[in-house]
Amino acid sequence: MVSEKMLTNLKRSSWIRSMFEQGENLRKKYGADNVFDFSLGNPDLEPPQTVKDALKKAVLSDTPKMHGYMSNAGYLDVRAAVAAKLRQAKGVPVEAAHVVMECGAGGAMNVVLKTILNPGEEVIVLAPYFAEYMFYIDNHGGVPVTVNTDRETFQPDAQKIYDAITPKTRAIIINSPNNPTGVIYSRDSLVKISEVIEKKQKEFGTSICVISDEPYDKIVYDGAEVPSMFEIFKNSIIVNSYSKSLSIPGERIGFIAVNPRISDTSALMDGLIFSTRTLGFVNAPALFQRILPESLDAQVAVEVYKKRRDMLYDIITKAGFKCLKPQGAFYLFPQSPVEDDVKFCNEALKHNLIIVPGTGFGFRGFFRLAYCVDEKTIVNSQKAFEALAAEYR
């Protein structure tokens, strides 16, 4: 019953399942307290109280048609509230007419790709990357083209992107703050990419869309700047969600915003709304749209993530692992002491450490630690990291 293509995709993503299963086995054998699971980017902080209060109010509301179908783009007042926030943050005149409410950033990315891709067109993805991009691009007949970022700084290299752009390049996905590195791409790197895109668009007479995937835009430390993609890239679309900023990933609420500087946004908006409908999402969840106008100023306790970043960074660097200290998201991406990161992560399991090989993010020789886990897990993992590091001295 299952297609050949699906079998290939299942095989490609089987390491995720295998990690999960190995973690479960370890927990059964040693008890959850003795297993240090840094594998999942599943936010463990509670949603802000504002969100809970707004939700209670929405649940108890007797407003007629609270749970009915709506315009496929979402409630107009919610789109307007999201647009107002973006106007403030991005420095461009975003209106409700540029916003479509979506089922998380994952849903949003699929809607964008379905809308803009012709079969066989190429999408540039900067490695290391969020692994699901490969499947999303494949879902809509696109071809992923991977371009590595710098192995020391994880900043994108404009020259490499220049070399990768062909007449078939339709889009480039940019994810900053980044999963898996936590790195925020600098304004300088992004401006250089925009110059490269301009040049190539002229050379080939094409239009290349920058899709900015921003679910970690609020999880930022040390006062770091996340440059506005709408200011830097004219042909840009933001996909975002409240999964991480409000700690509600299970509720599947996010949005797409198109840059008002795009010459004609109306056909694009029509396409995005059509794709939202025909991919079967129909519209973003009604209840969680309702809570947004009151919740847009709220965010999870970022200082808790920052403390964990500092603690885990100290533990692993003192143990001897080489690691960049990133300023966003909730991941560290240290270097594996051996190039075979899969073997290394299997070795880590012997110390009850569940960590993910960089290969899973298209970047061999590294590993990812997700620190959205409680402090106790981080503190108690110290001996395990030290013992693991000692094996490679």
CA nearest neighbour of 306 among 104, 47, 36, 45: 45
105 lies in the site for ligand PLP, by CB under 6 A: yes
Residue 86's alpha-carbon distances to 176, 228, 263, 388, in angstroms, are 16, 10, 19, 45
CA distances (Å), origin 392, targets 320, 324, 389: 10, 20, 6
Q: Which residues within the stretch 255-314 sit at the binding site for ligand PLP (CB under 6 A)?
A: none
State in angstroms the smallest separation of the CB of 239 from ligand PLP.
Answer: 8
- 142 is a site residue for ligand PLP (CB under 6 A): no
Among 179, 181, 228, 295, binds ligand PLP (CB under 6 A): 179
For position 357 contacting ligand PLP by CB under 6 A, the verdict is: no
In a 13 Å sphere around the CA of 129, the CA atoms on its Cβ side amount to 25
If the CB atoms of residues 48 and 328 are measured against ligand PLP, the closer one turns out to be: 328
| Residue 298: C-alpha distances to residues 15, 48, 86, 273, 307 (Å) | 36, 7, 15, 27, 20
Which SS3 state, helix, strand or coil, does residue 145 take?
Answer: strand
| 8 A C-beta contact, residue 173 and residue 129 | yes
Stretch that binds ligand PLP, among 48-56, 61-69, 74-82, 98-106 (CB under 6 A): 98-106
Binding mask 212-241 toward ligand PLP (x if CB under 6 A, else -) reads -x-x-------------------------x
User: What is the closest distance, in whole angstroms, from the C-beta atom of residue 254 to ligand PLP in the complex?
Assistant: 5
Helix (H, G, I), strand (E, B) or coil at 380: helix
174 versus 348: smaller Cβ distance to ligand PLP: 174
Min CB(206)–ligand PLP separation in Å: 25
Pairing type for strands 143-148 and 209-213 reads unpaired
The residues binding ligand PLP (CB under 6 A) are: 41, 104-106, 130, 175, 179, 213, 215, 241, 243, 249, 254
